[in-house]
Structure 1
């Protein structure tokens, strides 16, 4: 299981419901809406679920083991002496750390098994234990830490049992599900529950979209399957919320709608090849939506464009709000990275944006996310010619502003490629301070209009007030050029 409060997937009251007497059982549990027994279903699936055992050799740095004395007169004194004598001496020593998890076979002929990345991460040896007691060594085909998935391969010596991957996007809250796994190393264990929620973000990675279930899951269940009542895998059990490490009825599974593409890529390439748009984004708050003239807060606000990326041709610009990508709605900022990553590299997609209050559709050809780090690093280090000398400072909305010149760049260590109006001081009691605006920040745009002098800022603020706006939308550049949007009250 993961070494956090979130562990592997969750709760047992539904199993107790199945054991209750008919006299006290709720009407829905006696009807066709819930399974009276899952024995036949479980019997056909247990052989496909495996126990995954891993070991890792870790050096102890040559430190001697502390000697624990045996009780006076103990008959085990000789054993204690020999035990610790064998562990003394100079030089580094290795020790073996073992862990347990679960997995399931998706391709019996090829010997392909799916599990969690954290189950096998760092392992030197991986062994797969089957329900009939047989064991096979496994090799790692590929792993993805962002979705916590891994694909293993064994060489079958006899026919294996496989299970199909189903469609998690059609499940409903309240649907019955069954989890099979290896809790606490006990072997194949079946629990039943319902879908408690969908689309959960537990801040474990950039593509969080978990299924939440109350099917009891504990340590060792990580990587095991979550089945629908047709015997199809609709989730890979990954995490639980648990103060004690045991099930409290809140667990999470990676949905197959997210996992299938990752599994296919790991099988084909041994790595992921995700689509990449090449933008930096931030949430659209109610204040930002009001400043942009939008009906409500939705979409992902483009705070910057990566130099050399797929949209570094003006197709998408800072200040645009992406509300739809390749036919999929972007209701919140966190939706965009997931739908982009699920798209094939090189695919041409339609992106619906709001630019200066107008909805537009632009065509974008996606790059590869795995190639983005180098470009993003270079983007932060670019240089351009210096600007002219500064004009006198002015005070606006609790900020003291000056035109950016050589002296200002040196004083605040501002990159040469940043252009705009530098903030030299911020009133600690102002609305700007409340938004964590700091000296050294540079105002690039106000209400999506470029500003180059403090007088430009004054004119834009005055125009917004005349239009009845309550907030000013500022595009700010950090000292290294990273952009962000903030709204400042003008009351």
Structure 2
């Protein structure tokens, strides 16, 4: 299975071979050589070649090579006695063996990590010596050295990073006025557009490769905020942090990762688009950190199934999967199952688009949010708040469940009383039915329902008793899918139960 990996280089040896091509003479009459293409026929190829040459000449002086050094660090030992009951239950057999005891004493002592060397690339975004690269290129480095196009080397004087997007800003001083790149609009790039990748793969400084945009909006679980451009331009270890450039010589991405079974180029590379990287870089340069807005929702792009369930067009908008308590989304009235069509009057095409729009909005300001709820359009107003540190939408572990007798969905349900609401950390006026048990392997378990969840609605129908729940479910089709709107102490969300019960 292909793996996606950042392109950090830790020292790579190279063996370069030479290929000797010999002409073989043959007996007999010499055949006439095939006619070469005319100037007119070859002109389109010459024009493309000239365009690539001009872009390379324009961009190359703004490219830098980056090398990093990380000093040895002390890490704690394993910290437990070899004769501790839990750590080593067979202690009685070895208690009197001094060699065994000495071995484990060594394991408990602090150890030193080895000295590490790394390499990557970057590009100048300000003539005063401001350089953009990847966070993973400079992360944890004790020294960052920058080598310019003219061969001069400088030690970075300041480094600011944003792990959430894998973007970093590095400053050097004393280099004089440098040539900065031009930043292009990554949103304007389309699949099939020509691009060039610049960097220092395997230590080969100032290397240029060519390809096309192969895809947009890719996510590879490399960072919290992802909206990668995919390219087939050759990218290898050492390319990380270098620019991906369009045919006009404008940077439209930062080369960041590859999908590869071998660890080298397999034709699939990923770049952070400049509509993310430029904004992050400006925040790091100005504030030293990135201040993001947030809604407090878990979202997903609309696919054919969710479009049918919620009465919207396919590939239109973003579905709200869950809402955090006391978040801007909850305060603004957003609910699980809402489909967001527009934010601040601008269409929302997919989940990455909405994320990018929200994080760059003014913190503390209110914006209109157009949604579809129960098949009807309505406009909410949400006030954007600053994203909390270490923000995540991951849920808490499931609550313990009671041994149940189950309905056809695999649920055991009870009415929600005030006392039960209090035990579940819910408001007294919360309404619905409580999930008190889930059958193993049932449709409910497969849908992600947990014990302690409160079912507030079945589709668009509110339910307050088990009888109301049962009646509402019978009016819907498991084959087409049944939407359940849930809440618990962690917030609100929805699930779709689909299939045939066993």
TM-score in same-fold range (> 0.5): yes
Residue 42 (1) aligns with residue 56 (2): yes
Structure 2 residue aligned with 1:74: none
Cα distance, 1:339 vs. partner? 2.4
Structure 2: distance between partners of 1:26 and 1:143 = 51
Pick from 453, 458, 483 the counterpart of residue 446 of structure 1: 458
Residue 158 (1) aligns with residue 176 (2): yes
Structure 1 residue aligned with 2:241: 223
> Does structure 2 conserve the Cα–Cα contact (< 8 Å) formed by 1:54 and 1:123?
yes
Q: Secondary structure at the match of 1:458?
A: helix
Structure 2 residue aligned with 1:335: 353
Q: Secondary structure at the match of 1:105?
A: strand
Structure 1 residue aligned with 2:121: 102
Pick from 199, 211, 219 the counterpart of residue 193 of structure 1: 211
Alpha-carbon distance change, 472 to 199 in structure 1, aligned in 2, over 3 angstroms: closer
Q: Secondary structure at the match of 2:55?
A: helix
Structure 2: distance between partners of 1:424 and 1:309 = 27
In the alignment of these two chains, the number of paired residues is: 435
Residue 30 (1) aligns with residue 29 (2): no
Alpha-carbon distance change, 298 to 188 in structure 1, aligned in 2, over 3 angstroms: same
* Deviation digits for residues 199-225 of structure 1 (CA, Å, limit 9, x no counterpart): 222232343222222221211110001
Higher relative contact order (CA 8 A, sep 6+): 1
> After the TM superposition, which residues 126-205 of structure 1 pair with which residues of structure 2 at under 5 Å, given as runs?
126-205=144-223
Q: CA RMSD in A?
A: 3.8
> After the TM superposition, which residues 7-406 of structure 1 pair with which residues of structure 2 at under 5 Å, given as runs?
7-8=6-7, 23=37, 30-31=44-45, 34-36=48-50, 38-59=52-73, 61=75, 95-108=114-127, 110-282=128-300, 284=302, 286-296=304-314, 298-370=316-388, 373=391, 395=407, 397-405=409-417
Cα distance, 1:7 vs. partner? 3.8
Q: Secondary structure at the match of 1:106?
A: strand
Structure 1: distance between partners of 2:226 and 2:41 = 36
* Deviation digits for residues 440-463 of structure 1 (CA, Å, limit 9, x no counterpart): 443222123432221221232345
Alpha-carbon distance change, 286 to 248 in structure 1, aligned in 2, over 3 angstroms: closer
TM-score of the pair, normalised by structure 1: 0.76
Structure 2 residue ranges without an equivalent (≥5): 9-34, 78-108, 398-403
Q: Secondary structure at the match of 1:102?
A: strand
Alpha-carbon distance change, 448 to 91 in structure 1, aligned in 2, over 3 angstroms: closer
Structure 2 residue aligned with 1:71: none
Structure 1 residue ranges without an equivalent (≥5): 10-20, 64-89, 382-391
> Does structure 2 conserve the Cα–Cα contact (< 8 Å) formed by 1:298 and 1:330?
yes
Q: Secondary structure at the match of 1:474?
A: strand
Structure 2 residue aligned with 1:422: 434
* Deviation digits for residues 244-278 of structure 1 (CA, Å, limit 9, x no counterpart): 22112211111112211111111110111112123
Alpha-carbon distance change, 354 to 153 in structure 1, aligned in 2, over 3 angstroms: same
> After the TM superposition, which residues 446-465 of structure 1 pair with which residues of structure 2 at under 5 Å, given as runs?
446-464=458-476
